Structure 1
């Protein structure tokens, strides 16, 4: 074997070792996924509201809950301040890269996995507008006949006058309550009957108001009583308040077209006070029997009479004037619970509402 042949073999072995070392170096590289986030931001100006910004940037004021959801720093959606920066749109992504060891060569970039396209049907369903009402569990209703209670609170641990969250209460089951209804682990809504208006026969003509106070979870069952813990307290709870089965509801209320030809009256506010501003609860005299559905919007209006001089007609109704809007949250057979979404002045019991005029 000559020197040239030996040199050739030596070079081949050297190149093979270099290739193997290079492969080991790349194998030692670490793979890391880097999250990225892009978005558009806006600085609040004087007079801005989430409702208005949603209309401006999303072409629908009803998408304001999504704008609120994207900005955790806003504790109350009705209070935003000039100079505060909010995020209007956010898009998350991920890029997978190979992070090289200190002694390795250049990093190798691995392209992100292909994203499965969203179907038109799924996109349409996801982008459907909704109204977000986080306090949905505490809204009351008017029903005729009233709900039959499944039990009654007859004592509280510590003999307190006012019962609140965390307290242990003792419940006397109703005689006609199903045996499998009041079982440990189940939740029940605490409520109280109220007369909807001051009229003597209002419970017969309108129904009975169910005033929601809180939620309890049953913990222990005894032969003649049940122990429960108050897990949520919306309002002060007292001995003799009643229970009915708790039904979980979604705070996202899908918006629906209003029923044509509706013309009704606002019965009263839930707290029996003058409706002085937005987002107060009230009851109306239309319900499922009138094709009213949760998520529908109606206009609150007023209509004045005027006296015509030198005419055979003594008085005449002027055209209706819309001054507010309401949104249906819950429906019963002949009544519904609504939230006032906008009003330019106080609303009194008996105020009228109608299908919005296009």
Structure 2
């Protein structure tokens, strides 16, 4: 399958005046962008760094790095990339991080030149990504969620060539359903339903990605099947598998931010059907674009602490406060469901845990 551009995963950096830093931030958000007490004076960028990990060396909450870099979401069209070998330093006087090169020294201190730098060769490949790009790459171009209502309309595999029930790369497949002029499709089968932990309602069905197919002959009558050829497969494609058109290559610039509206969500599942998630695993939550989430929204993860009985007050039930233990970075949204990458956590993520707007 064709891979999307790595440049689409890069955070944009702009070394602008401090006044631009809060143009899209509320005072309550700004107050939380605190530097670590032991923040270093500088950090030399190396391969393997991400903008999140670099900011985590300096900030208590790495997700709010655009504020201390002096960037707002409107500046994406004029980015400055960070590359291995460059130096990030902590300008303690202004309370900002800056990107610089040492070009001389005076009195033992480096002189910093903040002029733009032009790089002509292999920019996308060399630049530091925002978050671990390879982890979420498959999730951007493969079907993840089949929303309620789309199941009935999706084209489906009737059988393989020569009556085969299972198909692999290079095999013929006969498909019935509306294809609306598309010629390249992804193949999936719905798996477990995603149920809202709060209401029990089914929000959609997770899709098991099987491979891709290309149309070789469209049906010429309503009672005729389309002829396809399997162009790639990661699992066997069986009768009943369903097709969705190949999506366009996504170009996404992620800028981490608080959700547009105050959000309180729940973890619905850990991708892959396992019980627990750790750092760099993918989870689903029961809120999506209709509830104000978009790519780059950051939520903090909380473990519900439960209820204890106050024996001194006649066993009166007392709810303990939820304990924050990490964060999740939303990278893909549907109407009522979002997929997020687990960032720093101090405990495993479990289904049912709370994910809400940073305080």
TM range (shorter): 0.5 to 0.7
8 Å Cα contact 1:301/1:320 also seen in 2: yes
Q: Which SS does the other structure have where 2:211 is aligned?
A: strand
Q: Which SS does the other structure have where 2:150 is aligned?
A: coil
* CA-to-aligned-CA distance 1:74-122 (integer Å, 9 cap, x gap): xxxxxxxxxxxx94449xxxxxxxxxxxxxxxxxxxxxxxx9998xxxx
8 Å Cα contact 2:194/2:206 also seen in 1: no
Aligned partner of 1:190 in structure 2 is 187
* CA-to-aligned-CA distance 1:279-307 (integer Å, 9 cap, x gap): 32322111122111122111111131333
Aligned partner of 2:175 in structure 1 is 172
Relative distance call for 1:282 and 1:236 in structure 2 (3 A) is farther
Q: Which SS does the other structure have where 2:238 is aligned?
A: coil
Q: TM-score, normalised by structure 1?
A: 0.57
Aligned partner of 1:353 in structure 2 is 355
Aligned partner of 1:325 in structure 2 is 327
Aligned partner of 1:10 in structure 2 is none
Aligned partner of 2:318 in structure 1 is 316
Shift of 1:129: 7.9
8 Å Cα contact 1:274/1:349 also seen in 2: yes
Shift of 1:311: 2.7
Aligned partner of 1:110 in structure 2 is none
The RMSD of aligned alpha carbons is 4.2
* CA-to-aligned-CA distance 1:40-98 (integer Å, 9 cap, x gap): 97789xxx975775337898967xxxxxxxxxxxxxxxxxxxxxxx94449xxxxxxxx
Aligned partner of 1:68 in structure 2 is none
Relative distance call for 1:192 and 1:290 in structure 2 (3 A) is same
Shift of 1:335: 1.9
Q: 1:220 aligns with which of 207, 217, 220?
A: 217
The range that moved more, 53-62 or 218-227, is 53-62
Q: Which SS does the other structure have where 1:289 is aligned?
A: helix
8 Å Cα contact 2:173/2:230 also seen in 1: no
Aligned residues: 253
Distance 1:290 1:198 in 2: 17
Q: TM-score, normalised by structure 2?
A: 0.57
Relative distance call for 1:172 and 1:158 in structure 2 (3 A) is closer
Q: Within the alignment, does 1:248 sit opposite 2:244 as a pair?
A: no
Q: Which SS does the other structure have where 1:195 is aligned?
A: strand
Aligned partner of 1:285 in structure 2 is 286
Q: Within the alignment, does 1:144 sit opposite 2:145 as a pair?
A: no
Distance 2:52 2:116 in 1: 34
Residue segments in structure 1 that go unaligned for 5+ positions in a row: 1-39, 63-85, 91-114, 119-126
8 Å Cα contact 1:268/1:349 also seen in 2: yes
Shift of 1:242: 0.7
Distance 2:85 2:270 in 1: 34
Residue segments in structure 2 that go unaligned for 5+ positions in a row: 1-42, 64-82, 88-114, 119-126
Larger radius of gyration: 1
Relative distance call for 1:329 and 1:117 in structure 2 (3 A) is closer
Shift of 1:208: 2.8
Relative distance call for 1:197 and 1:291 in structure 2 (3 A) is closer
Q: 1:206 aligns with which of 182, 202, 209?
A: 202
Q: Which SS does the other structure have where 2:173 is aligned?
A: strand
Shift of 1:158: 7.0
8 Å Cα contact 2:159/2:165 also seen in 1: no
